[in-house]
Amino acid sequence: MSFRTDETANNNESYKIDKDQGCRLCPRSCGACRMAGEKGVCLADGEIRIARAALHMWEEPCISGRTGSGAVFFSGCPLHCVYCQNREIASGKGWVISQDRLSEIFLELQAKKAVNINLVTPTHYTPQIVSAICRAREMGLSVPVVYNCSGYESVDTLRMLDGSIDIYLTDFKYPDSEGARRYSNAPDYPEKAMEALGEMVRQCPAPEFSGNRNAKDEDELLMTRGVIVRHLLLPGRVKQACETVRRVYEKFGSHVFFSLMNQFTPVSSLQEKYPEIARRVTEREYERWLNYVIDAGVEQAFIQEGGTAEESFIPSFEGEGVLKYV
């Protein structure tokens, strides 16, 4: 899957996909001819599939705000982590929509008072998304656009997004190739994620916010531009979580915000092959990690408190907001 430029609008190039070229959008570089109907490692072909488009309250406070983030959940995923919480859509569940319909969905979410458009697992639809954002902005889209991804990204693909994305909300899952291989079959994840993060920071080098920085309520302060790096603490991997923060903070410092997550919820399938992570993270594990982060001097970080692992952050994927009814 390669790209040719047909026109330029709003400093963004409108990309078309050549049908006779294999897909190289993500670091898997699987070469599937998706536009000819083949499915890539992401389990997506050439059509856009989404599973939900609705207001979402369960992101970081500066992303969800008071009224919610306009989350568009795309079907398929290039990474396929063994502990994935959204496996039903990562495996392809979703409804086919047109590129024009995607633009309409962005505008509909804005009309519902979404504080941003939140593209969840968007990597394998990047060319269509770029064009849909451009069209939506021509039609009045004015809220920031969030690229919510696994961190396993190609720098070339991210460069296509330059000027289209306001906020990068990215995972940094593994600092070690062994963990990346075992849980995501991606031993090159640490290298690719660091390269991708560098490109994200190049595009959005300084966090910017609207609202009162001294506000008592966190959801009164909305990020309008910047990079948030998420790390989900896995059971028994405090050392690796500390190493993730160390590497990212030493390289990018105050250019990024951290989101330090303890909400890992084990799925039943882990018990047989991955028993070491077939449990929840303990309070002691999370406390050890937070103490390291504080000692390291990190000041820009979101943390999770209380029983977040017992809460449901997973919405229903039954097509809400996807199809247009007339």
* 3-state class (DSSP) for residue 16: strand
> Residue 177, SS3?
helix
144 CB contacts (<8 Å, ≥6 apart)? 115, 116, 117, 166, 167, 223, 224, 225
pLDDT given for residue 220 in this prediction: 74
Please tell me the pTM assigned to this model. 0.92
pLDDT tens-digit map of 107-151: 999 999 999 999 999 999 999 999 999 999 999 999 999 999 999
Question: For 139-235, where are the alpha helices, taking DSSP H only?
Answer: 155-160, 177-184, 189-203
* 24-41 burial code (b ≥16 CB/10 A, e <16): bbbbbebebbbbeebbbb
pLDDT, residue 314, reads 74
Residue 123: name the closest of 48, 11, 190 by CA: 48
pLDDT of residue 306: 63
Q: Residue 139's pLDDT is what? A: 98
Q: What are 300's two structure tokens?
A: 């820009």
Residue 316 has a pLDDT of 84
CATH of 42-310 given 3.40.50.2300, 3.60.120.10, 3.20.20.70, 2.40.40.20: 3.20.20.70
8 Å CB contact between 180 and 187: yes
In order along its 326 residues, the chain shows pLDDT tens digits of 433 333 333 333 444 445 557 999 999 999 999 999 999 999 999 999 999 999 999 999 999 999 999 999 999 999 999 999 898 999 999 999 999 999 999 999 999 999 999 999 999 999 999 999 999 999 999 999 999 999 999 999 999 999 999 999 999 999 999 999 999 999 999 999 999 999 999 999 999 999 765 555 665 799 999 999 999 999 999 999 999 999 999 999 999 999 999 999 999 899 999 999 999 999 999 999 999 999 999 999 999 986 554 545 678 899 999 987 64
pLDDT tens readout for residues 248-294: 999 999 999 999 999 999 998 999 999 999 999 999 999 999 999 99
Q: How far apart are CA 277 and CA 233, in angstroms?
A: 10
- pLDDT value of residue 323: 87
Domain ranges, ordered by start, for the chain: 42-310
Alpha carbons 146 and 167: distance in angstroms, whole number:
5
Strands (E), 95-153: 95-97, 117-120, 145-149
- CA-nearest of 186, 175, 170, 115 to 145 is 115
φ, ψ (nearest 5 deg) of residue 107: -70, -35
